[in-house]
Amino acid sequence: MDRWDRAGRAAGYGAALALTPYLLIKVSWVAGSLLGLLPMGAGFGKAEWVVLNSATIGMAGIGIVVALALVRPWGMRIPAAPLTFCAWVATGFLVPVLPYAVLSSLLGSAQGDPHSGRQAGPSMPAWEAALVQIGFVGMGLGLAVALPAYLRRRWPQAFAGRLGDGGKGSLGVPPWTAVIGAAVGLIWLYWALGGTAGVAHRPERDLTWHLLSGVFGFWALVASAATWAAVRGRPAHMPRWAPIVLGWLGSGSLFAWSGWKLPFTLYVAIAQPADAVLPEELALAAVLHLAAVGAGAAMLRTLVRTRPVPAHP
């Protein structure tokens, strides 16, 4: 076992450990709301609150299993497709927002759980908000180290060489996924910089909304540029692993976050809860999230097709 494997093993176990308190907190929220012992988030009825947090319990559980699969021997025997998909979604959720999560923690402005909309305050003790943030940051950092180490063990030649080694990529046409991803990213960056077109409720825009819009817009552009480079095989001197890694993270961010936000956006549009208002025009937001999900999934497929994939061990 070399130093990369040792680092990956420590990171995988650390990620699973960091996310465990979050899982337990979510279980307590569901149990407490069902028993009438804990308040529910603003804008949610009991059924919606239980369903939403039960979904995040499942996501946290899958994340812990994925982290362990990246370091345990049985992880090498799991079929590649489901493990890769779960790891892609998990890294897309967590790694791109790590700088924001760390900054918000240092500034003491943690906003609770971004998945549920529950805010830190009287209904959420500071220690609970801190554990939630530690879970996100720890899981994101752990996956950022454990996943490359796992891929290196399972497919050691997958990222070898440079983009120009085999000429252009296997696809000869401009990747439409990059165009759509760039368009979505530019709209998010426009909102992050203060643009108001497509914003229905301007007072609902806060610092968190601006920062996250900027983060998602940035990674959408990164994913688009990486996909374009991988498909075109340019710049030829660039190591092949660079666009693959950046495209992996960016496409995962598009798919995971918009895949999570799309159902919530549709819920707000249909149910129109009094205490839940989104800044964006709901129809436009739904179209953007749908485009982001489709582009993210297609980008991953494109990246897999344009890189040399060794035979399954």
Q: How many Cα atoms sit within 13 Å of 24 on the Cβ side?
A: 9
- Tell me the pLDDT band of 36, cut-offs 50, 70 and 90: confident
- DSSP 8-state secondary structure symbol assigned to residue 157: T
Mean pLDDT of 62-74: 92
DSSP 276-295: ---SB-HHHHHHHHHHHHHH
pLDDT tops 50 at residue 98 = yes
> pLDDT for 233-291, tens place per residue?
778 888 888 888 899 899 999 999 999 999 989 988 888 877 778 899 999 999 999 99
pLDDT tops 80 at residue 159 = no
Single out the residue of 209, 170, 169, 179 nearest to residue 192, CA to CA. Answer: 209
User: Which of the residue ranges 102-106, 120-124, 255-259 would you say has the lowest mean pLDDT?
Assistant: 120-124
Q: Which two tokens stand for residue 28?
A: 């307590």
Single out the residue of 262, 180, 188 nearest to residue 218, CA to CA. Answer: 188
- Tell me the pLDDT band of 107, cut-offs 50, 70 and 90: low
